[in-house]
C-alpha cells in the first residue's frame, strides 16, 4: 500500500513584537502616537531595529534633579512637541500655513504611561496654557537665576529646556518621569506619509482659517501635511486647545490602528522606513534606545487601539487670570489628583472615574460644552449689578466667563445680544441657548472670546449641557475613536 504524501507542518506565525517609537505632538502630539505606535510594532527582530537610535539627538533632562516623586509601577514617558519648522520647505510653509518664526517653546505636552504588564498605554494631554508653578532655575538664555514663579506650562521649555520641563511636570502631577521624547513638525509629516496616511472621520465640518484645515463631514485619508493641519487647528470653535487635544487623541488612536492593521509591522523594509522617519528628528534621554524599544516591544505583542486610552487633564477654570501672564488654564485639583493617582498606582484611567451624574431633563442640549466657551459680559442697561448677576449665572452654568463684567458704551439696550466671530458660530449658539431670547450677531475679527451685552429683556440663565453629561475626566479607549 503506497505511503500517503506527508502534509507539511504549518510554520509558526511570526511573533508580533511591538517596537517602541518616540512620539511628538501635533507636530508633537504625534510624538505620543509614535510612542504608542512604536510600542505597538512587532515581529521585526533585533537586526532590523539595531542602529535605528544612532540618529537620535540626546539630551539629559534628569541631570542634578533632586526631590523627585517616588517611582510607581510601569513606565512614564513625557512627550513634548516643539515648534520646529526650520526644515520645512518654502512650498510646505505656504501650503500648510506654517509661516512665521518658530518659538522656543512646547506646543504640546503629553504624559504617556505604559503599564507594568505592557497591556495598556494611557495618554494624558496637558494643555500648553496650564497654570504652573515653575521651580527655581537658571535661565538657559541669560544665565540668570530665577526663584519659583507662576507661568504657563509651555514657558518652562523656553526658560530651562527639557530639564525644567520635566521638573515642572513632575511637580504638577506627582508622577516620576522615566523617559523624555521631543519631536517637531517635519518628523510628524514624514512619519504619517511613511505609514501611508491616516484615516479620520468627522460628523461635522472642520474649518480653521489659520491652518487652512477644511474637512467636510465624512471620512478622509490625511497625508502628512493635512494631518499636521488637523492636529494643530485650535480655531474651529470655542473649545480652542481643549478641542484640539481631543482631535489629537483621536488622531493618535487612528495612527495606532493604521500601524497595527496596515501591514507596517510585518514588512521589514516598510517598518524600517517608518522607524527612520519617526526617529529622524527626535530628541530623547540617554536611557531611551534600541534595547529599551525591544524589551517593551517583546512584552507588548497584541497591542491594538483597544490597548490605549486617552484623556485630557481635568480643567477647573478655562480662563484663570494671572497678573503679568494673562489668561491661563487652571486644573481641577481634586479631579487631577484622582487621575494622576491612577497613573502612579498603574490603574486604568477609567477606573478612577466616579459614576457620571444623572441627566437633567430640563437642561437644554447644545453642541459645544459650556466650559469650552469663553465669555466677556457687558451690562447694557442702567440696572446696577446686572452684568455681575449675568456673569455669575453663566459661570454657574459652566461657561468660562472672565469674572469681570463691564459696562457697555452707548444707549441702553432693550435686547440681550451675543456677539461672536463667525469662526465660533457653534459656540455662539450654545451660549445663546443659555440666554432665552438673545439675539446672535456675527462680528468679524471678534476672536475666540464671545461677548454678551445684557439687555433689559434679560430674564436669567437656563442650564445647558452637551449630549452626554460630563464626567470628572473623560477617558476614551483607542478603539472607540477610530473610524467604524
What's the pTM? 0.66
Domain membership of residue 22 (yes or no) is: no
Same-domain status, 302 and 405: no
User: What is the CATH classification number for the domain harbouring 430?
Assistant: 3.30.70
Domain count, the chain: 2
- Cα Dmax for the chain: 111
Domain membership of residue 15 (yes or no) is: no
Same-domain status, 182 and 249: yes
161-195 pLDDT, tens digit per residue, is 899 999 999 999 999 999 998 877 777 787 888 88
Interatomic CA distance for residues 291 and 394, integer angstroms: 54
Same-domain status, 348 and 380: no
Same-domain status, 337 and 447: no
Interatomic CA distance for residues 85 and 64, integer angstroms: 31
Same-domain status, 342 and 443: no
Domain membership of residue 326 (yes or no) is: yes
Domain membership of residue 5 (yes or no) is: no
Same-domain status, 181 and 317: yes
How is residue 89 written as a grid cell?
520647505
Helix (H) or strand (E) holding 296: helix 290-299
Same-domain status, 315 and 440: no
pLDDT of residue 363: 76
Domain membership of residue 292 (yes or no) is: yes
Same-domain status, 39 and 85: yes
CA-based radius of gyration for the chain: 24
pLDDT of residue 316: 87
Give the strand pairing for 57-59 and 283-285: parallel
pLDDT of residue 382: 93
Domain membership of residue 2 (yes or no) is: no
pLDDT of residue 474: 63
pLDDT of residue 476: 67
Give Cα separations from 181 to 30, 58, 82, 292, 373 (angstroms). 11, 10, 11, 13, 32
Same-domain status, 375 and 446: yes
Same-domain status, 351 and 254: yes
* pLDDT lower than 50: segments of the chain: 1-44, 469-472
User: What is the CATH classification number for the domain harbouring 310?
Assistant: 3.40.630.190
Same-domain status, 310 and 371: no
Domain membership of residue 21 (yes or no) is: no
Same-domain status, 351 and 411: no
Strand order through the sheet with 106-114: 57-59, 283-285, 179-183, 75-82, 106-114, 121-126, 308-312, 476-477
For residue 372, give its domain range.
364-465
Domain membership of residue 7 (yes or no) is: no
Amino acid at each position: 500500500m503506497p505511503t500517503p504524501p506527508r502534509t507539511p507542518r504549518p510554520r509558526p506565525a511570526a511573533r508580533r513584537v511591538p517596537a517602541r517609537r518616540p512620539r511628538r505632538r501635533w507636530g508633537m502630539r504625534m510624538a505620543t502616537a509614535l510612542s504608542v505606535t512604536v510600542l505597538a510594532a512587532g515581529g521585526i527582530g533585533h537586526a532590523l531595529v539595531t542602529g535605528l537610535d544612532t540618529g537620535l539627538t540626546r539630551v539629559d533632562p534628569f541631570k542634578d534633579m533632586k526631590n523627585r516623586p517616588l517611582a510607581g509601577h510601569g513606565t512614564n514617558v513625557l512627550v513634548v512637541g516643539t515648534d520646529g519648522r526650520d526644515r520645512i520647505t518654502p512650498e510646505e510653509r505656504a501650503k500648510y500655513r506654517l509661516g512665521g518664526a518658530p518659538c522656543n517653546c512646547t506646543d504640546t505636552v503629553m504624559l504617556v504611561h505604559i503599564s507594568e504588564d505592557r497591556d495598556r498605554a494611557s495618554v494624558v494631554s496637558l494643555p500648553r496654557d496650564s497654570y504652573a508653578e515653575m521651580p527655581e532655575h537658571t535661565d538657559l538664555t541669560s544665565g540668570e537665576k530665577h526663584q519659583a514663579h507662576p507661568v504657563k506650562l509651555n514657558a518652562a521649555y523656553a526658560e530651562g529646556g527639557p530639564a525644567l520641563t520635566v521638573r515642572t511636570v513632575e511637580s504638577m502631577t506627582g508622577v516620576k518621569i522615566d523617559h523624555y521624547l521631543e519631536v517637531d513638525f517635519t518628523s510628524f509629516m514624514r512619519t504619517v506619509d511613511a505609514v501611508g496616511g491616516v484615516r479620520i472621520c468627522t460628523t461635522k465640518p472642520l474649518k480653521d482659517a489659520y491652518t487652512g484645515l477644511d474637512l467636510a463631514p465624512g471620512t478622509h485619508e490625511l497625508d502628512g501635511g493635512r494631518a499636521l493641519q488637523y492636529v494643530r487647528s485650535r480655531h474651529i470653535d470655542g473649545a480652542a486647545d481643549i478641542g484640539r487635544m481631543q482631535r489629537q487623541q483621536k488622531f493618535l488612536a487612528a495612527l495606532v490602528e493604521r500601524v497595527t492593521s496596515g501591514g507596517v509591522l510585518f514588512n521589514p523594509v516598510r517598518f524600517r522606513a517608518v522607524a527612520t522617519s519617526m526617529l529622524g528628528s527626535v530628541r530623547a534621554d540617554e536611557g531611551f534606545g534600541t534595547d529599551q524599544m525591544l524589551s517593551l516591544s517583546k512584552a507588548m505583542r497584541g497591542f491594538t487601539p483597544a490597548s490605549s486610552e486617552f484623556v485630557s487633564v481635568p480643567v477647573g477654570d478655562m480662563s484663570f487670570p494671572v497678573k503679568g501672564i494673562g489668561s491661563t488654564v487652571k486644573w481641577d485639583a481634586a479631579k487631577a489628583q484622582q487621575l494622576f493617582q491612577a497613573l502612579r498606582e498603574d490603574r486604568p484611567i477609567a477606573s478612577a472615574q466616579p459614576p457620571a451624574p444623572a441627566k437633567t431633563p430640563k437642561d437644554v442640549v447644545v453642541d459645544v460644552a459650556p466650559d469650552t466657551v469663553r465669555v466677556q459680559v457687558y451690562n447694557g442697561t442702567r440696572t446696577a449689578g446686572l452684568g455681575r448677576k449675568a456673569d455669575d449665572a453663566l459661570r454657574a452654568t459652566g461657561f468660562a466667563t472672565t469674572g469681570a463684567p463691564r459696562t457697555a458704551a452707548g444707549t441702553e439696550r432693550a435686547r440681550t445680544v451675543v456677539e461672536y466671530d463667525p469662526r465660533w458660530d457653534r459656540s455662539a449658539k450654545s451660549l445663546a441657548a443659555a440666554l432665552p431670547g438673545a439675539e446672535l450677531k456675527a462680528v468679524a475679527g471678534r476672536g475666540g472670546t464671545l461677548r454678551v451685552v445684557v439687555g433689559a429683556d434679560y430674564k436669567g440663565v437656563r442650564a445647558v449641557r452637551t449630549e452626554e453629561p460630563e464626567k470628572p475626566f473623560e477617558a476614551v479607549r483607542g478603539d472607540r475613536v477610530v473610524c467604524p
